[in-house]
Amino acid sequence: MLEGYRGKAFETLKSLNVDVGDIIEIEKNGIKVEGILMPSYSEDDSIVVVKLDNGYNAGFSLSGAQVRLISKRLRVDQSEYRENREKGEVRIISTGGTIVSRVEYETGAVRPALTTEEILRFAPEIQEIASVSAEILFSILSENMKPEFWIKIAESVKRAFDEGHEGVVVAHGTDTMTYTAAALAFSLIGLPGPVVLVGSQRSSDRPSSDSAINLISSVILAKEAPFGEVVVNMHGESSDTYTVAHRGVKVRKMHTSRRDAFQSINDKPLAKVFPKEKAIKVLRSDFIKRNDTIKASPKFNQNVFLLKFYPGLRPDIVDTLIASGVRGIIIEGTGLGHTSTDFLEVFKKATKEGIFVGMTSQCLFGRVNMNVYQTGRLLQQSGVTPLGDILPEVALVKLMWALGHEDDLDAVRGIMLTNLVGEYNTRHSLDLFPRWDHE
């Protein structure tokens, strides 16, 4: 196969019966190089990419060059995917992302390494912690995650507990991990053990990856943590010292690239995990305990919308949403929970039609309070429901789930205002806000 090649280079290589992985020779301007043909992602279709003896890749333009096939590639046996679905103490469910993957040094390709054997080879310490079994559910990029996949993950988690596992680890891309965490948290009731979502911010193909430490501490949590909750477990600081288990409905990715990107918002994490010492430090006592009456109810109605208000946003967008058949809207309002008063009419219209309209804040930290200013009161009179300190994305997922179970506006409102799994925190202490260094 001539991966990535087009046009001139493709024609030349094809006519010589050369494939990616074959050894070729290029002679140009008196310089001769030999190397393995690599896939090309060049914009220039005359470029041929070769891995030289010394391991470097280099691109050569074929104009004025002579190419010769030296030898065909030796086929490398690709180890097959094998799943070990036999019962262990901890089940690892893979959904994608780069938390566990391996590099083929020969071609430089990165491919997922998700079988039990591969996971154990990647992080052998896990054997000292628990017997694990692995399931490869799918391999999709985090940004391509959809509610139908949430359902599959929820079912798979339930199955793992039904088989008698003590805890479940879900390997997931980090970008939308918190949406999945919220979806699982609302769908799974009476969890017999922790469901630990874990990912990596530095891909596992590099020696400095955070994935091994995150994965090891996730297995520790899944086996030993006293809670039956969905948590997100990632680095607690930039150093490789400990990870933090955040409640799945109170966590957000707050940095594009740092290892400690995930932070609890309006809440404290449930536990710290020290992978070197293989120890858990539980940070609070009000967690949901392990239970043995697991029920899964993963039903989601996707006819919802997350509306971020900004100065100049026109109310007719809401008319469009109503016309499109939306069943619920979460507003990410300003400050304590506001939009411009221009929206009063459209929100009144929406709620009259049985559409749920809920208010969260784009401040993220703190809760909405729609009694302080006149606008907030008017919005409430138009039917907008204040949602306390629920994070906007969590409110959206919760609304999908609520609408998946109820149609009646009052019933939906009732669900949205009930604290189900710790998503709605009514007490904020002074220390629930990060302080940046100013000097």
Task: Compare residues 104 and 342 and give the one whose CB is closer to another protein.
Answer: 104
Task: Compare residues 41 and 310 and give the one whose CB is closer to another protein.
Answer: 41
- What single-letter DSSP state applies at residue 417? T
Question: What residue ranges bind another protein (CB under 8 A)?
Answer: 28-31, 33, 41-42, 44, 47, 49, 52-61, 102-105, 108, 110, 113, 118, 121-122, 124-125, 127, 202, 204-209, 212-213, 238-241, 256-259
Task: Compare residues 29 and 429 and give the one whose CB is closer to another protein.
Answer: 29
First-residue to last-residue Cα distance in the chain: 57
Q: How far is the CB of 292 from another protein (least distance, A)?
A: 34
Work out the number of other CB atoms within 10 angstroms of the CB of residue 99.
32
Q: How far is the CB of 27 from another protein (least distance, A)?
A: 11
Q: How far is the CB of 351 from another protein (least distance, A)?
A: 44
Q: Which amino acid is residue 97, in one-letter code?
A: G
Residue whose C-alpha is closest to residue 243's, from 222, 266, 227, 226: 222
User: Does residue 174 have an active-site annotation?
Assistant: yes
Q: How far is the CB of 275 from another protein (least distance, A)?
A: 10
C-alpha 251/C-alpha 245 separation (Å) is: 10
Task: Compare residues 12 and 303 and give the one whose CB is closer to another protein.
Answer: 12
Residue whose C-alpha is closest to residue 175's, from 263, 253, 93, 231: 253
The one catalytic residue among 19, 22, 45, 175:
175
The one catalytic residue among 250, 253, 272, 398:
253
C-alpha 273/C-alpha 257 separation (Å) is: 21
Task: Compare residues 81 and 310 and give the one whose CB is closer to another protein.
Answer: 81
Please check whether residue 338 is in contact with residue 227, taking contact to mean a CB–CB distance below 8 angstroms: no
Give the SS3 label for residue 331: strand
The dihedral through the CA atoms of 67, 68, 70, 76 has a sign that is positive
- Write phi, then psi, for 338 (nearest 5 degrees): -125, 155
C-alpha 132/C-alpha 425 separation (Å) is: 35
Q: How far is the CB of 338 from another protein (least distance, A)?
A: 35
User: Does residue 351 have an active-site annotation?
Assistant: no
The one catalytic residue among 174, 178, 339, 375:
174
What torsion, rounded to 10 degrees, do the Cα atoms 220, 226, 232, 236 define?
A: -70
Catalytic residues: 98, 174-175, 253
